[in-house]
Each structure stands twice: as structure tokens, then as C-alpha cells.
Amino acid sequence: MAQALNYAKQYSRALSQAFPYVLNFGALYRTPNNRTYRWVNAKTIEIPSIKTTGRVDADRDTITTAQRNYTNSWETKTLTNERKWSTLVHPMDVDQTNMVTTIANITRVMNEEQKFPEMDAYCVSKIYNDWVALGNTADTTVLSEANVLSVFDKLMLNMDNARVPVTGRILYVTHEVKTILKNAEKISRYIEVDGGEKRINRIVSRLDEVEIIGVPAPLMRTLYDFTNGWAPADNALQINMFLVHPIAVLTPVSYTFSRLDEPSAGSEGKYIYYEESFEDVFVLNNKAGAIQFNATSGNAFSAPVVKALTEGTVYGVNVSDIQSGVAVGKDAITGTSKWLNGSNAITDVWGTGNFVAITFESANWAQYTSVKVGLLPTQGAGMQELIGHLDDLDSVFKITDKGEQVLRVVATNGTDTIIKDYQLGEIITLGYGS
């Protein structure tokens, strides 16, 4: 490879071809609006908004003064969701004759397990919050087999009154709600006869000519933490039904950088892959009537949120002396754990070594009867109880085997118990003298 080229355009084209098949909200990512409106620059789009007066009575005997009976204004949307990802790549995994395919292979697992679910989560939550910001309110009925069709009819009626085209409407539901729809009262069923054998087809794929698409419940929340990947926020509502026409949204994705750099001494003989993109989701202000939601309180009982300490001190030791760039994702902790030595409140108890400094947050600590945290296998301290010590939730844990250890959080409210593990395998542990 003579030089490292930016494959952003080719990679973006390859991804966009896959979106309808890999994204739960793929139909929204292929809305015709993405090809209609004017790009001002790499991250700004202008949408024309034209308003006209109505018709008036004509008079055959007089001529009225000509005047302009329309106004033209611009609705500006600025992309703010800038995301990046990078990794080292072994030379054996690089095909220099087809770099676009190589990049697609390198990113396949990340795309399927991280990027695509994140795009789904961002899409539905951004639409919901933009829609609410425009003054709209979601239906909050708790759905059941007895009322689910009535709620659907209400959402459809709201769209009918907003003069939204019937053709093209899509109903996104959680799989739990899809099951409720299968068993809904007053729903008509058809019996298929195949080879003389009568079979009842219970698949619900359309309702009143509206396409129904099932989406995993964790990807149908109103709020997420996108600090590292994606994770539902503690105070998020559960979106049960999301009725939408694609004409109501704009979902631009603009890859600005996608490149493989050649091996060097600094990369220890490996290629370095880096990608960066601007992507966002918008509700068109004058099309907000083509969006309807049913949302209710999610699972109020959830484990506390784990967050990495990034500044200040813990037990009198500067966080910057313990770690750098540490972040807590959906199920893993990443970053660099420095070698901590000398005499201080941490090493005097646990000895020198690698540590991770984290804290715990919850909007409702009163819901828990017990919350225990710790690294497993542990170095003998066992799991620490947080309840009763809420005045000081900053904690330090010693890493002795990052490949085997996990940070475990066990939360209970006396009835239900949640166990959440965070892998440590991706943490970089610096040795003595580093």
C-alpha cells in the first residue's frame, strides 16, 4: 500500500446499503428526506418550509392587485452526534488489494454488536425527545390484550387528523407488545389450508395496513448514556409503541474519515484503523404529527450506574495517579490502569499494583435493600455493601488478573435481584516503573 487513503465515502456507501437489513429502524434511515434537503456544509442541513394563503372568490369584472401569497423560510438542522472508533489490526488481516472489504471485515463485529444497536437507540430516543420538545405528549396507557387495539386506534386517529398518509406508516413495538397483539381481543385471524392440514398463522406483521416491526425492549427507551457505546439510562421510559411515517424524520449519516495507517514502530508492526462520523436524527417540525408514542415507566428496579472517576482524589490519592482514559461501557471497562506504588491509603492496605477507581450512581437509592460490589475473583475483601455508606460511593478495586476478573454489581430490593458484570479484559495495565 503506497499511501494511507481515506475510504470514508466508499465505506459509508457500503454501510448505507446494509442499513435496511441490519438496523431495527432501517426504514427511517432510508427515508427519502435524506436525499431531498440541502447540505450547507459537512454538518448542517437546510430544510425549506413554504407556506401559502388559501384560495379566494374570483370576480370576472375586476382585476386585483398582484401580490406574493406564499412565504419561504429555512429550518436549519445541525449534526452534533460525532462518533469515533479505532483499533489495531494485524497485517495478516489486511487485504491490500481490497481495502474497503478489509475495513468492512475489521468493523463487522463492532458494527453488529455496538454501532448498529447504538444507532437504533440513538434514533428512537432522539426522535422521542425532539418530538416532546415540540410540545407533544406520549400516550401512557399500560397496554393489555383488552386495550392494545384501542390505543393503536387512538394513535392512528391522531395521525389521521394530522392528515398523515396512511400508506407508509410503520408501527414499531417491543416484542412483549407484539405478543400482546397476537392475543389481543377482537383481532381477526385467518386459517391457512396447506396440503389438507389446517394451520393457524399467529404471525402479526400488519395491522390496518400498517407494517409492524418488533424491536428488543432495551432499544426502545427514551434516554440513553452514550459515554462508551450505549446503555439505557436509569430514568428512561419504556417505549411500547412507536407509530411513525418516514416522511417525518431526517437521518443523515456522514462519514468524514475511515482509514488504515501502515504498520510502524509506534504501532508495534500493526495497522491502525480509525473511523469518525457525523450522524444525527431529526424530526421535521411541520411533520411532527406523523409521529406517535405510547411510553410508560420502564423497569423502575435496575442496578446502579457504574461510572469511572476522571478527576479529583479517592482515599487521598489523585485519580490521575491511578488511571487515565478509563470509561465504563455497557458491559466492559476500558482505559489504562497505572502502576500505583509508594506509601498511601490504598497501597498501605492492598500493596502496590494496578487499580481501577469508580463510583456508583442511582436516581433512587431507596429502592434497594442491598447493593454489593466487588471484583471477582477478589483478593480477599469480598463484596462491599454500598447501602449504609451512600455518603462515600467512590471506590478503588485492585486488578490482579484482568482476564479472569469482572466487576460485579448485585442489587436487590427484597423481591428481585439484578446481577451485572463488567469485563476488565480490555483495560491496559501498566507495570512497575511505567
CATH number at residue 392: 2.60.40
What's the DSSP call for residue 342? S
Query: What per-residue confidence (pLDDT) applies to 197?
Result: 52
> pTM for this one?
0.61
Question: In the chain, what percentage of residues exceed pLDDT 90?
Answer: 44
Number of structural domains in the chain: 2
Residue 163 has pLDDT above 90, yes or no: yes
Residue 217 has pLDDT above 80, yes or no: yes
Q: Are residues 235 and 112 part of one domain?
A: yes
Residue 65 has pLDDT above 50, yes or no: yes
Q: Are residues 251 and 106 part of one domain?
A: yes
Secondary structure of residue 34 in the 3-state scheme: helix
Query: What per-residue confidence (pLDDT) applies to 153?
Result: 94
More confident residue, 194 or 224: 224
- Residue 2 in any domain: the answer is no
Compute the average pLDDT of residues 131-153. Answer: 93
Highest mean pLDDT among 93-97, 108-112, 209-213: 209-213
User: Which of 244, 271, 297 lies at the terminal end of a domain, its last residue?
Assistant: 297
The percent helix, strand, coil of the chain (3-state, each to 5) is: 25, 35, 40
User: Which of 277, 297, 317 lies at the terminal end of a domain, its last residue?
Assistant: 297
The answer to whether residues 376 and 405 touch, using CB atoms and an 8 Å cutoff, is yes
Q: Are residues 159 and 34 part of one domain?
A: yes
Compute the average pLDDT of residues 356-377. Answer: 88
- Residue 114 in any domain: the answer is yes
Q: Are residues 97 and 243 part of one domain?
A: yes
Compute the average pLDDT of residues 71-87. Answer: 80
Compute the average pLDDT of residues 283-311. Answer: 87
Query: What per-residue confidence (pLDDT) applies to 266?
Result: 84
Query: What per-residue confidence (pLDDT) applies to 126?
Result: 96
For 26, the grid coordinates are: 432501517
Q: Are residues 338 and 257 part of one domain?
A: no
C-alpha 424/C-alpha 397 separation (Å) is 12
Nearest Cα residue to 275 out of 265, 289, 260: 260
Beta carbons within 8 Å of 136's beta carbon, 6+ residues apart: 288, 291
Domain hosting 210: range is 8-49+75-297
Average pLDDT, the chain: 83
Instruction: Tell how strand 271-279 and strand 224-225 pair up.
Output: unpaired
User: Which of 297, 319, 349 lies at the terminal end of a domain, its last residue?
Assistant: 297
Q: Are residues 355 and 288 part of one domain?
A: no
